[in-house]
Chains A and B, each alone.
Chain A
């Protein structure tokens, strides 16, 4: 028995082992480029945790990943994959910005609350479109969310090229696609004198709320049940369709809130380079990875997004210090995802195997008594 316990403990380390295996392959790639992997990874660590500013950057980078990850958690628990994160982030960010731009005379904290709520709502609506299309027109949500990502990006381009473009840009004649800087009144308060902002606290609070929602409410229970056993859920009379759409909408809401917080806490304006991830920086995709690393559990997503944020922040530092091509960082990122994803299910598979073996053993024991 003791042996099996140790084996179980060891199995939790599989994803960590996979993570390091990916880093090892990354080290080989770095070495091939003629750079010392040791110095490179040293820089990576320094960039992620080496100073107050570095840690702040890591946390700031992790915050939108956490919001998206939470949204993915809810969706995944209901058995739906939400890859519309990019569009929902834009929807949330845009709506929050528009609110702040149009009501400059309201007191800051009221405007912040309204803007965040509007961001939450618009993210929900953007995901809701996909949910609605699925429920009533049987349009597959992977198709609709991918399309909606592009529609959101082009919509943002349109608004930033004209209706809400920074008047300063028009005056200077440079026409950069961005809005005016929002008034300082709606800046989210900084936690310590770095870029770390209040939005992180909001994210953690919502992580707890999502946990409570999924594990301590009836709706949450039903959502999880649908994800685990759709037949049984139908059999027990749950309106599967309705709850899947609900999960989708809530997913988008959290992502939209994340987008709004990115504007109010980090950038204080919206800008783009025309592409789908021009403003989001692919947080919509990286957040999915964060959710997986967090075992699709809202509380687990907190350290997971932190880890991913550290990886991304540290990798940028690594690029600066050893001047490795930025593309290597993307390749390394992808490798890590592949290795950890590959090891995840294996770990769960092994755990189940152990459980089954234990069941048989217990059964044998009982029979022998």
Chain B
């Protein structure tokens, strides 16, 4: 009897040892640090990256994947210090989520050959300067813009469509150009009015821009960047349709937000993380497109047909057969 108990104890102890060794082997989580120019709750550019990282963490589990972030880093010098600091703290992948961070990355990346860096939106991995540990990523936001433009042209009854943008640069410009192209391809005589309000954060100005667009006849609006929340509010108030981008803006005005181009950065991040684990630190450009699922068009049924459905149910519509 004593010998049996002793054996059991030994077996149990060895099992515990083996298990802990096993856990020890997996304990090296993949650590990511991300730097963003605006708030993670901006319902636009920064939030899309934050949401993507959360998704990956949910899929991989908190033991396997950890990430930290520094948002509101609109001062590039501070962002540079953050990038450098995270790199020196041994993070596996440091994401500089803002096109203004590129020049800082070029200086920092060579100092940390064992750290992988990624930045966007951009297509420059600086490999022509001999740098091998920078990934670049971009979104072909003009594709979703085009789709929204086509739908907008079909839905517009007045033929006038308004666009509200921050500054004519980068991602915003791509989206707006694509949207315009989509509208004009569908309805060549449509009037697309674009205005750039000169900032990413002037909500009041965006709101008044929306009012003005509607005053000159627009019955469909779109816009990009975080200040459009003001425009969406006006659209809702005046019963004008809205097309969103960078995030799903339906929650702000479910009655009128027709469709949103949503960025799914995991399409870029997942292969990136895989490559880094295998030892490739950079040099690849990732592009989010409709084809690879990085860009998704999320249509809001409520805005499109919700009222019609309700009217039928409530008997307000008499369908003549």
A residues apposed to B, CB below 8 Å:
47, 53, 57, 60-61, 154, 157, 161, 172, 174-178, 181, 266-269, 271, 273-275, 277-278, 281-282, 312-313, 316-317, 319-320, 323, 326-327
A267 x B100 contact (CB < 8 A): no
Nearest 8 pairs between A and B by C-beta?
Answer: A281-B75, A326-B72, A274-B199, A175-B169, A176-B99, A274-B167, A57-B81, A174-B170
A172 x B124 contact (CB < 8 A): yes
CA distance A273 to B202 in the complex (A): 12
Q: State which of A57, A154, A267, A282 has its C-beta within 8 Å of the C-beta of B76.
A: A267
B72 x A316 contact (CB < 8 A): no
Residues of A within 8 A of B200 (CB): 273-275
CA distance A60 to B37 in the complex (A): 21
The B96-111 residues at the A interface (CB cut-off 8 A) are 99-100, 102-103
B169 x A177 contact (CB < 8 A): yes
Interface-located stretch among B82-90, B253-261, B263-271: B82-90
Q: A172-B124, A174-B99 are in contact. Are A161 and B78 (CB under 8 A)?
A: no
Q: A267-B76, A267-B77 are in contact. Are A275 and B199 (CB under 8 A)?
A: yes
B169 x A161 contact (CB < 8 A): yes
A275 x B201 contact (CB < 8 A): yes
B residues apposed to A, CB below 8 Å:
33, 37, 68-78, 81-82, 84-86, 88-89, 99-100, 102-103, 121-124, 166-170, 173, 198-201
- The residue in chain A whose Cβ has the minimal distance to the Cβ of B36 is A326
B77 x A157 contact (CB < 8 A): no
Residues of A within 8 A of B85 (CB): 47, 317, 320
Contacts A/B (CB < 8 Å), 13 sampled:
A47-B85, A172-B124, A176-B100, A176-B169, A177-B169, A178-B100, A267-B76, A267-B77, A275-B201, A277-B74, A316-B81, A319-B70, A326-B71
A274 x B166 contact (CB < 8 A): yes
B77 x A175 contact (CB < 8 A): no
- The residue in chain A whose Cβ has the minimal distance to the Cβ of B225 is A274
Residue among A47, A60, A278, A282 facing the most chain B CB atoms (10 A cut-off):
A278
- B180 to chain A: closest CB distance in Å? 15
Residues of B within 8 A of A177 (CB): 167, 169
CA distance A178 to B68 in the complex (A): 28
Residues of B within 8 A of A178 (CB): 100, 103
- A45 to chain B: closest CB distance in Å? 14
Residues of B within 8 A of A277 (CB): 74-75
A60 x B77 contact (CB < 8 A): yes
CA distance A275 to B167 in the complex (A): 10
Q: A174-B123, A320-B82 are in contact. Are A267 and B103 (CB under 8 A)?
A: yes
- The residue in chain A whose Cβ has the minimal distance to the Cβ of B85 is A320
CA distance A268 to B104 in the complex (A): 10
A161 x B70 contact (CB < 8 A): no
Residues of B within 8 A of A281 (CB): 74-75, 77-78
A323 x B68 contact (CB < 8 A): yes
Residues of A within 8 A of B123 (CB): 172, 174
A327 x B103 contact (CB < 8 A): no
CA distance A61 to B198 in the complex (A): 27
Residues of B within 8 A of A61 (CB): 77
